Chains A and B, each alone.
Chain A
């Protein structure tokens, strides 16, 4: 150990650390600076950026001992002392530049260094400086705007009232821009026991353990080893009933590279010194099935004995007579499309902390689904549900993968076994190897059309590689056939999907549940049909677009709220302008060509034909304070703000009146999971009902009219209506067991109906709609594609908060861009953020967001879901733009430079 003396945020400090310790670990664990976030430990993400003598460096790459005698500044210190950082904090809030907030310290610390040397930076300077800090939520444009704005004299303040429809900065934003937000790894005390999972290095292997007791006895500081034998309840979990097929610890055979087989728990120093290569396990590598074709071949070993042919499940939607329609179509196009694994790449790896007390276990971890975690853990632990408490931390990005259990079972089992608190943070490599991915897909599609431009026959077959365990695979298999038509009227339709088990990481939920994959095939072929027919691609889509009263492929008829036509029409001015501009550019440019592409999408909000309730509770204390129990997990998208805006509007109070209570399962009812773009719609409706019920109760007690205005004071509510002022004395009411004198709790469950064997029914109560326009520039000799501009039209029914709508649009486009151009996860080869590439701040061009409001009868204030819709049209719009620019037909994403170049060659051959 060495004692390091240095200045931390203006204070002289000293810390005892082992010699080669990283600065990030010393700051977080010895100096209490948990505002230094660790995303990769490799300099690939920049989240841990601190200033050493004023210069930004990655704390994860800096030997702690080298800061001896030097000056170190972190986010919290800068916000407290530097006027520039405070300006940045205001600007980040006002622009919505922090969503989940995990990258925000790295962004703001780096930007502070920029502003100190360059007081009024331009966009280019901001990008050049922040190029080393990755963000997965915002799409970066708001970050650029915020940093530029922080350098300008005008204060970045907002006067949004918070009423529904106003661009209120996120209510939970202050902690995110000051470094106070606590994520999964920011909760546990520094000396907590740590856990390390032992994982299979092979895609498929038998294994056996050596003498584990001897290993523990001979390893100082190691408290215990956990294996399948230590799972007190059912050693299986999953998210879909009937598909709980993933063990906490594999018992004898590991089914993918990264499958957990054991865990080691010990003191921080013992875990730091622990070399996994010394763990007593013997592997016998077995021949894996890595592709669906291999898994389906006769003789392939079954991953799960109850799933013949390694078929997890399938889905089907059928209407009309697709074969006859294709026969009589004037033109038919077809294609085979491929997509690979896509990694969620949130900057916060899974992390948490568990503590056992009073016969219960509490798990503090990042999650998208607290009550599902609680139910899953209860089953694994063999405990009643009320003995498991989930206290979600802030979530540093989720995008679907944090719907599944990850760290929670290990932590809970260890804490209960040892009676001591235990923590873990996955390494980046572990997070990438072990947690879910977007399903790779192989899609064959034939689409016919008549000369007048009407779709005439649609035949889709999609194989989805679901990896070793089911996770959300059944959801993908069900959703895709419902959505593969796109938002179009198609009378003769067949869409079949199958999910195949392979020896790969489990593919699960990822923004769009398979629909982004199917949209690529459908929207790319739509462009080819339009070209064959000589019809403008936008007109072709408008001619086939769904409208009120037209049945979907499931036979569902919406009499209102179908907004795809409005989205496509919103693109018309940009479409003409950008196509003209590209034509003019291409007339003189030789080495680079520009192209403009469009694509549309739709997405049903909430579970597919399944119950999907959310419950929201609110209460008023005798002192007049008003509490909203907001159980809809905010993973950066803004549920804390949107749900509060809806509730406040209905109750008739300013948002600032509310005290938010988070989704702790002991105190807040289940608002369902944050997935399927359901929170604004479903939990928003629950909030609307809860607000209305509370208001009705107050008005009844005050004997006031429906248009009364409420004012909250200490111990009373003042109710004004035409009859005068009524004062409701809260101190005279009897508090309930929660301390509330007035309370409401309401549940909303969207009306759906089951699908029959042909997929006919009412899968969703509402759909949201989207259409994107992408402008790209292609370097035709190197195959490099550079997006120049996006126009994104989104029908959100009603924008409860336009600032957050734009945030979702920007972030979704950035992820769609990544999927289109650079992202492909290959197990064992891209388990880090330098081989697996996500867009940087220099890769996302300006985005014009067009908010379309076609109100939905079921949505709160007409609102529809949005989160997943955005990702769906982006990739096909880019592919269509590449084709427009060069003629290249890409059938596989990512469209890496080599694939683009090959496709250009093929087109010119």
Chain B
């Protein structure tokens, strides 16, 4: 019984090739999902791998290492387009969870209510995966396949999240709705990334909603309807029709009924857009 602690990605892949085993990064989902049953004999810890944790910028854009914690992200000096992601980082569980939980762990756990996913969808994040076959890069929407289901292969690990440079005017916001203040699983989440031209007209818009479908979803029809619109005219000038929310398929669960979720999402999108306009440069 061992926790294997490789120091490099190559060592990690070699170990996985020898013995398939679960991966642990922060452990914040690994342990809770194994309650009441014996822990596995072996697991592979990713936190000892050099270079897997950290945030940087190269010529093409931003790179957030897979084992970067939510605290790292909340504290990072990032452009305003990452404000939704940083706000979500502060809402992931608690300080304790944020200090351990990692960005890639949140994706690989593939919870429909993962706090990190809507802001990452709204950032058009790309997932970098490495296996013996080499590196592949997947759009986040292609990486997340369903509840607890991802495109990650059995001997493959996520190494980073990649982001192309956002327009300088892009701003972002994140709203989370839950029944208590802290440490709460969302009833619904909205992340919005919007850039505007000099007149304040929407140039780009990406809106993503979490906890209202098996995998968090972008809302292309809402995004399209926003293009060219002057958001300073106020949220009332923008109507969200039921068709625009058709990618969502919320369920009734202990947190809320589906019908409420749809109504709440509608209101939250309006509020998110209002909040973006209130932010500096808005």
A residues at B contact (CB < 8 Å): 1-2, 18-22, 41-44, 46, 49, 55-58, 60-66, 68, 110, 127-129, 131-134, 272-277, 427-429, 781-784, 821-822, 824, 826, 829-830, 832, 834-835, 837, 839-843, 896-898, 901-902
B179 touches A897 (CB 8 A): yes
Known: A897-B260, A901-B260. A110 touches B96 (CB 8 A): yes
Q: Which of B28-36, B132-140, B191-199 contacts A (4 or more CB under 8 A)?
A: B28-36
Q: What's the nearest-Cβ distance from chain B to residue A550, in Å?
A: 41
Report the nearest B residue to A428, measured CB to CB: B35
**A57 touches which of B99, B181, B257 (Cβ 8 Å):** B99
Q: What's the nearest-Cβ distance from chain A to residue B147, in Å?
A: 15
In the bound complex, CA of A843 to CA of B47 (Å): 34
Known: A20-B39, A65-B5. A58 touches B182 (CB 8 A): no
A275 touches B263 (CB 8 A): no
Q: What sequence of 0s and 1s flags, for each residue 14-54 of chain B, a beta carbon within 8 Å of any chain A beta carbon? A: 00000000001011101110011111111101011000000
B2 touches A61 (CB 8 A): no
Task: Name the prevailing secondary structure of the B interface residues.
Answer: loop
Report the nearest B residue to A900, measured CB to CB: B260
**A822 touches which of B36, B180, B263 (Cβ 8 Å):** B180
Interface centre among B27, B30, B94, B268 (most CB of A within 10 A): B94
Interface centre among B3, B96, B97, B183 (most CB of A within 10 A): B96
Chain B hits for A22, CB < 8 A: 31
B94 touches A21 (CB 8 A): no
In the bound complex, CA of A49 to CA of B96 (Å): 7
- B161 contacts the other chain (CB 8 A): no
B182 touches A835 (CB 8 A): no
Report the nearest B residue to A276, measured CB to CB: B36
Q: What's the nearest-Cβ distance from chain A to residue B1, in Å?
A: 4
B31 touches A60 (CB 8 A): yes
8 sample A-B contacts, Cβ–Cβ < 8 Å, listed by A number: A62-B27, A66-B48, A128-B90, A131-B94, A830-B254, A843-B182, A896-B256, A897-B264
Q: What's the nearest-Cβ distance from chain B to residue A486, in Å?
A: 28
Task: Name the prevailing secondary structure of the A interface residues.
Answer: loop
- B267 contacts the other chain (CB 8 A): yes
B31 touches A66 (CB 8 A): no
Interface centre among B32, B71, B255 (most CB of A within 10 A): B32
B residues at A contact (CB < 8 Å): 1-3, 5, 24, 26-28, 30-32, 35-43, 45, 47-48, 71, 90, 93-97, 99-100, 177, 179-185, 187, 254-257, 259-260, 263-264, 267-268
B97 touches A275 (CB 8 A): no
Nearest 8 interchain pairs by C-beta: A132-B94, A842-B181, A131-B182, A898-B260, A42-B32, A19-B2, A19-B1, A65-B3
Chain B hits for A62, CB < 8 A: 27, 100
A19 touches B95 (CB 8 A): no
A132 touches B93 (CB 8 A): yes
B26 touches A61 (CB 8 A): yes
Q: What's the nearest-Cβ distance from chain A to residue B72, in Å?
A: 11
Chain B hits for A127, CB < 8 A: 181-182
In the bound complex, CA of A62 to CA of B29 (Å): 10
Q: What's the nearest-Cβ distance from chain A to residue B38, in Å?
A: 5
Known: A272-B39, A829-B254. A839 touches B99 (CB 8 A): no
Report the nearest B residue to A65, measured CB to CB: B3
**A43 touches which of B97, B184, B187, B267 (Cβ 8 Å):** B97
**B2 touches which of A2, A129, A272, A835 (Cβ 8 Å):** A2
Interface centre among A1, A61, A276, A829 (most CB of B within 10 A): A61
Q: What's the nearest-Cβ distance from chain A to residue B69, in Å?
A: 9
A20 touches B36 (CB 8 A): no
Report the nearest A residue to B257, measured CB to CB: A898
In the bound complex, CA of A429 to CA of B32 (Å): 11
A66 touches B3 (CB 8 A): yes
Q: What's the nearest-Cβ distance from chain B to residue A431, in Å?
A: 12
In the bound complex, CA of A18 to CA of B40 (Å): 10
Report the nearest B residue to A838, measured CB to CB: B180
Chain B hits for A133, CB < 8 A: 94
A782 touches B254 (CB 8 A): no
In the bound complex, CA of A677 to CA of B93 (Å): 36
B5 touches A834 (CB 8 A): no
Q: What's the nearest-Cβ distance from chain A to residue B204, in Å?
A: 27
B254 touches A834 (CB 8 A): no
Chain A hits for B256, CB < 8 A: 896-898
Chain A hits for B3, CB < 8 A: 2, 19-20, 63-66
Known: A63-B24, A63-B43, A132-B95. A42 touches B36 (CB 8 A): no
B180 touches A835 (CB 8 A): no
In the bound complex, CA of A20 to CA of B256 (Å): 36
Known: A782-B177, A897-B177. A63 touches B27 (CB 8 A): yes
B95 touches A835 (CB 8 A): no
Known: A60-B31, A66-B47, A275-B37. A842 touches B96 (CB 8 A): no
Report the nearest A residue to B27, measured CB to CB: A61
Chain A hits for B31, CB < 8 A: 22, 41-43, 60-61
**B95 touches which of A18, A42, A129, A839 (Cβ 8 Å):** A129
Known: A110-B96, A843-B180. A18 touches B1 (CB 8 A): yes
Q: Given A18-B1, A20-B41, list of 10 further CB < 8 A pairs? A: A43-B28, A44-B32, A62-B100, A63-B45, A273-B38, A427-B35, A783-B260, A826-B254, A829-B254, A842-B182
Chain B hits for A58, CB < 8 A: 28, 96-97, 100
Chain A hits for B5, CB < 8 A: 65-66, 68
Chain B hits for A60, CB < 8 A: 31
A834 touches B183 (CB 8 A): yes
Q: What's the nearest-Cβ distance from chain A to residue B207, in Å?
A: 18
**A842 touches which of B35, B43, B180, B259 (Cβ 8 Å):** B180
**A46 touches which of B30, B94, B187, B254 (Cβ 8 Å):** B94
Q: What's the nearest-Cβ distance from chain B to residue A643, in Å?
A: 35
B254 touches A835 (CB 8 A): yes
Q: What's the nearest-Cβ distance from chain A to residue B93, in Å?
A: 6
Known: A42-B32, A132-B95, A826-B254. A843 touches B181 (CB 8 A): yes
Report the nearest A residue to B28, measured CB to CB: A61
A46 touches B96 (CB 8 A): yes
In the bound complex, CA of A128 to CA of B179 (Å): 17
Chain B hits for A781, CB < 8 A: 267
